[in-house]
Amino acid sequence: MGLFGLLFFAFSSTLVLHFNLSTAQTYVFTFCLGGNYTTNSTFQADLSILLSSISNNSTLTNNTKYFNNTVRSNSDGVYGLFQCRGDYTSEDCKKCAKTATEEVTIRCPFKKESVLFYEECLLHYSDKPVISTVQLDPTVSLINTRNISDTSQFTPRLNELMEGIVARAVSNSSSLFAVGENYFTSSNNIFGLAQCTQDISRTGCGRCLNRSISQLSSCCNQREGGRILKPSCIVRFEIYNFFGPEAIIPALPPAPPPPSTPNTNTTNVDVYLICTEKFRVVLPIGAVSCFVYVKRTALEFDRGRNHRKNRHYSSSYSNCGGTAASIHDHHLLLFCKKKGIDTVKNVDEISSVESLQFNFDTVRVATEDFCDSNKLGEGGFGLVYKGQLSDGKDIAVKRLSRNSGQGIEEFKNEVLLLAKLQHRNLVRLFGFCLEGDEKLLIYEFVPNASLDQFLFDPIKRSYLDWERRYKIIGGIARGLLYLHEDSRDRIIHRDLKASNILLDAQMNPKISDFGMARLFVVDQTQGNTSRIVGTYGYMAPEYAMHGQFSVKSDVFSFGVLVLEIMSGQKNNSFYDPERAEDLLCYAWRQWEEGTPLGLIEPTLQECYSRSEVMRCIHIGLLCVQEDVVRRPTMASVVLMLNSYSVTLPLPTAPAFFTSSRGKELGWPTEEHGTNTTNASQPILPDRSISSSIPESINEASISELYPR
């Protein structure tokens, strides 16, 4: 087998392997997890029975390449499943089952859980129930060491291939498996594969595969090959055919025409698609027209406003003046060339947004005509109402004010952003309404309001025992990690605070308010803005003073939030006049004096885990360090919270936000939850801030949409 260079990434229990694929072998990788069992124990006996049942199973046929079993001699038991790849024969499957069951106890001696990957199969056993459970971690990423020279051609075709394969795998309910091929060069095509274990639902399969595709884009988008392996699913691509003998590859679509020579005289103006009875699409671009002949109807635009007549059909087309238009089975791409720059309109995005669109009358009925009794609160740009749809589902509706200063494009960007996010620790977008002057966002209704209403209330704070606070910290960390690392687009929140953490019926945290989030491409991790938006007290100093933001800006806000959860005190209102210190300064002093437990909320008394509390304070102080480089990533934070084997570095001094310093810098201060500023004095030199940065009344899923 080729040599593996192992590099651990400290997030989601994910690790990345770099290797050469020239001499691929059957064995791929093993995860040895959980605790240990002892020799001659009941668990060892049950495991032996389980592995024997897999090895000797006679149902591993071409139609059924999956098997699971549970062996339980006592209350614990052993749970196991075996999955063959869909493109291998039943004989290959049985051989892999025999090899895997023989080798697993050698590769993971005395471990209570193991996930063993081969080219042909996967074996997973555990002392915990794993059957019918979507497991997104641990993850192993395998990366071909050879680079792609022309990523501008390769990446869109790879994305098109993998998205199509995932769609077919999810729709294939019998096997949850699909392969495919797409054009790349005259000598090489791209080959892709996706498969889920057959114990999970199609919805769970889609979630696992989409997460894998996102991670594949992050790790391998400039490589000739790569794959993501998870306990519940696998995805892979190469520029050679790696399929097994029973792979059924769908026929390739017609080869795309060679690109035409760009016309440097082309100007960027509005693009119109006009559907005529003869199904001819005319695209006036400057003085140039291109003709696309479609079989039925096509997407119709009128200065950017779609008319819901989009359909997806094959087409033939001609190129004109450097402009190419192509309608594919699943999406329409318009390319307008100017100085070598492509402008792309993707119908998939437009269609996905349209599928979320609510009728205004439906929302009006759900909220009882936006009745005051259904009002939940008021954010920076409008009111929030509780509503109930005809099927009984509760929703939270944000009705943006007509003078909010937010344009149509900003609204659509917010919808596109939120629609792509799926995580248990993020508020879910159900839909939107854009009709006339009305702009509405419809979210899931989160019944327990926001964290600040519990944390800073002298009565309600008693509901937040240590177990709940610890769970809230972990959930926020995982949600933020998803935004930074696991979502298809990297997202920086820029206004993480207690009022933007909503609590569901089980007190699970959900991050809300992505109105100030800025969309990042995969490799972009920082930026600079001339408009400072956010809440002082949570802002990282480099952002508040210089407009520089990155994922580490969110890490700083997370650290402030952790210290607030530990102490029950607000950073921007905690002030000790005798020592002229804010919450961060107070926490640092307690740490330096060797009395960090002095920070703890008094209502917790002694009902907490000392080790967990100490670790959370330590992590909080690491996150609020003034030195950006020293702050951990959220991937590291999640690892620190989940693994006590990770040694934490010593923190350095945090950035101090005392009231006196804030006034010297011209920052707004808060009194009784209201921001006040000196109207005649700029907030920061050469910087501006949104005119209203309220303490949000977040009793439901609220997303502020600030103008950029």
Task: Quickly list DSSP for 546-602.
Answer: H-EEEHHHHHHHHHHHHHHHHHS--TTT--BTTTTB-HHHHHHHHHHTT-GGGGS-G
Query: Coil, helix or strand for 320?
Result: strand
Task: Using CB atoms within 10 Å of the CB of residue 570, give its burial: 0 to 12 exposed, 13 to 18 middle, 19+ buried.
Answer: buried
Query: Coil, helix or strand for 3?
Result: coil
Strands 688-689 and 531-532: parallel
Q: What is the pLDDT of residue 125?
A: 96
Per CATH, 4-139 and 144-238 having the same topology is answered: yes
DSSP state of 272: -
Among 129, 28, 139, 151, smallest CA distance to 77 is for: 129
Share of the chain above pLDDT 70, in %: 66
Tokens of residue 96, six digits: 């892999």
Which residues does the annotation mark as catalytic? 495
Between CA 47 and CA 53 the distance in angstroms is 10
Q: Centre a 10 Å sphere on the Cβ of residue 550 and count the other Cβ atoms it contains.
A: 21
Q: Which of 39-43, 581-585, 695-699 has the lowest mean pLDDT?
A: 695-699
Is residue 472 pLDDT above 60, yes or no? yes
C-alpha separations of 53 from 58, 60, 83, 114, 288 in Å? 9, 12, 14, 17, 69
Burial 429-449 (b: 16+ CB within 10 A, else e): bbbbbbeeeebbbbbbbbebb
Among 206, 228, 30, smallest CA distance to 123 is for: 30
Is residue 591 pLDDT above 90, yes or no? yes
Among 288, 276, 355, smallest CA distance to 325 is for: 288
Those residues with Cβ within 8 angstroms of residue 666's Cβ, 6 or more apart along the chain or in another chain: 678, 681, 682, 683, 684
User: What is the tens place of the pLDDT at every residue in 658-690?
Assistant: 433 333 333 333 333 333 333 222 222 222 222
Among 60, 57, 81, smallest CA distance to 69 is for: 81
Q: What is the pLDDT of residue 280?
A: 34
Q: Which residues pair with 289 in a beta bridge?
A: 284
Mean pLDDT of the chain: 73
Q: What is the pLDDT of residue 573?
A: 67
CB–CB of 451/499 below 8 Å?
A: yes
Overall fold of domain 360-444 = Phosphorylase Kinase; domain 1 (3.30.200)
Q: Which of 317-321, 405-409, 469-473 has the lowest mean pLDDT?
A: 317-321
Is residue 237 pLDDT above 90, yes or no? yes
Is residue 286 pLDDT above 50, yes or no? no
Alpha helix (H) residue ranges in 386-465 = 408-419, 451-455
Q: What is the pLDDT of residue 410?
A: 65
Between CA 191 and CA 268 the distance in angstroms is 36
Those residues with Cβ within 8 angstroms of residue 336's Cβ, 6 or more apart along the chain or in another chain: 266, 268, 271, 285, 323, 342, 343
Among 239, 186, 233, smallest CA distance to 85 is for: 233
User: What is the tens place of the pLDDT at every residue in 107-148?
Assistant: 999 999 999 999 999 999 999 999 999 999 898 888 888 888
Is residue 283 pLDDT above 50, yes or no? no
Overall fold of domain 144-238 = Killer Toxin P4; Chain A (3.30.430)
Let me know how many helices (H) and strands (E) the chain has, helices first. 15, 35
Q: Known binding site for ATP: residues?
A: 398
C-alpha angle 431/434/439, rounded to 5°?
Answer: 90
Q: Centre a 10 Å sphere on the Cβ of residue 252 and count the other Cβ atoms it contains.
A: 11
Is residue 5 pLDDT above 50, yes or no? no
Overall fold of domain 4-139 = Killer Toxin P4; Chain A (3.30.430)
Q: What is the pLDDT of residue 187?
A: 76
Among 298, 263, 262, 261, smallest CA distance to 283 is for: 298
Among 318, 313, 314, smallest CA distance to 291 is for: 318
CB–CB of 540/549 below 8 Å?
A: yes
Query: Coil, helix or strand for 476?
Result: helix
Between CA 412 and CA 353 the distance in angstroms is 8
Among 59, 56, 82, smallest CA distance to 69 is for: 82
Tokens of residue 322, six digits: 């450097």
Between CA 545 and CA 553 the distance in angstroms is 12
Comparing 692 with 218, the larger pLDDT belongs to 218
Distance of CA 565 to the CA centre of its chain: 24
C-alpha separations of 521 from 166, 220, 234, 357 in Å? 22, 14, 24, 26
Comparing 281 with 577, the larger pLDDT belongs to 577
CB–CB of 173/204 below 8 Å?
A: no
CATH, range 451-523+532-670? 1.10.510.10
Comparing 13 with 336, the larger pLDDT belongs to 13
Q: What is the pLDDT of residue 338?
A: 30
Q: What is the pLDDT of residue 343?
A: 33
Q: Which residues pair with 518 in a beta bridge?
A: 492
Q: Does pTM surpass 0.85?
A: no
Is residue 652 pLDDT above 60, yes or no? yes
C-alpha separations of 423 from 436, 475, 618 in Å? 32, 10, 27
Among 137, 123, 103, 126, smallest CA distance to 35 is for: 126
Q: What is the pLDDT of residue 576?
A: 56
Q: Which of 20-24, 36-40, 382-386 has the lowest mean pLDDT?
A: 20-24
Strands 14-19 and 4-11: antiparallel
Between CA 255 and CA 157 the distance in angstroms is 12
Share of the chain above pLDDT 90, in %: 36
Cα end-to-end distance, the chain, whole Å: 52
Tokens of residue 184, six digits: 């790349």
Residue 74 confidence class, pLDDT cut points 50, 70, 90? confident
Highest mean pLDDT among 52-56, 531-535, 546-550, 691-695: 52-56
Between CA 429 and CA 443 the distance in angstroms is 5
CA atoms within a 13 Å half-sphere pointing along the CA-CB vector of 161: 30
Q: What is the pLDDT of residue 439?
A: 84
CB–CB of 263/322 below 8 Å?
A: yes
Between CA 33 and CA 208 the distance in angstroms is 20
Tokens of residue 474, six digits: 């972990």
Among 146, 125, 137, smallest CA distance to 71 is for: 125
User: Which DSSP string do the residues of 640-660 spell out, in sequence order?
Assistant: HHH-TTSPPPPP-PBPP--HH
Mean pLDDT, to the nearest integer, of 364-393?
85
Q: Which of 105-109, 570-574, 590-594 has the lowest mean pLDDT?
A: 570-574
Q: Known binding site: residues?
A: 398
User: What is the tens place of the pLDDT at every residue in 414-435?
Assistant: 677 677 777 889 988 888 888 8
User: What is the tens place of the pLDDT at every residue in 198-225?
Assistant: 999 988 899 999 989 888 887 887 889 9
Those residues with Cβ within 8 angstroms of residue 186's Cβ, 6 or more apart along the chain or in another chain: none
Tokens of residue 121, six digits: 């199969």
Those residues with Cβ within 8 angstroms of residue 94's Cβ, 6 or more apart along the chain or in another chain: 60
DSSP state of 482: I
Between CA 15 and CA 138 the distance in angstroms is 8
Phi/psi at 18 (5° precision): -105, 130
Q: What is the pLDDT of residue 406?
A: 53
User: What is the tens place of the pLDDT at every residue in 473-521?
Assistant: 999 999 999 888 887 777 888 888 998 899 998 899 999 876 544 323 3
Mean pLDDT, to the nearest integer, of 351-362?
76
User: What is the tens place of the pLDDT at every residue in 307-319?
Assistant: 333 333 333 333 3
Tell me the one-letter amino acid at 109. Answer: P
Q: Which of 76-85, 425-434, 531-540 has the lowest mean pLDDT?
A: 531-540
CB–CB of 590/584 below 8 Å?
A: no
Residue 402 confidence class, pLDDT cut points 50, 70, 90? low
Q: What is the pLDDT of residue 698?
A: 28
Domain boundary assignment for the chain:
4-139, 144-238, 274-354, 360-444, 451-523+532-670
Residue 408 confidence class, pLDDT cut points 50, 70, 90? low
Highest mean pLDDT among 313-322, 356-365, 535-544, 627-636: 627-636
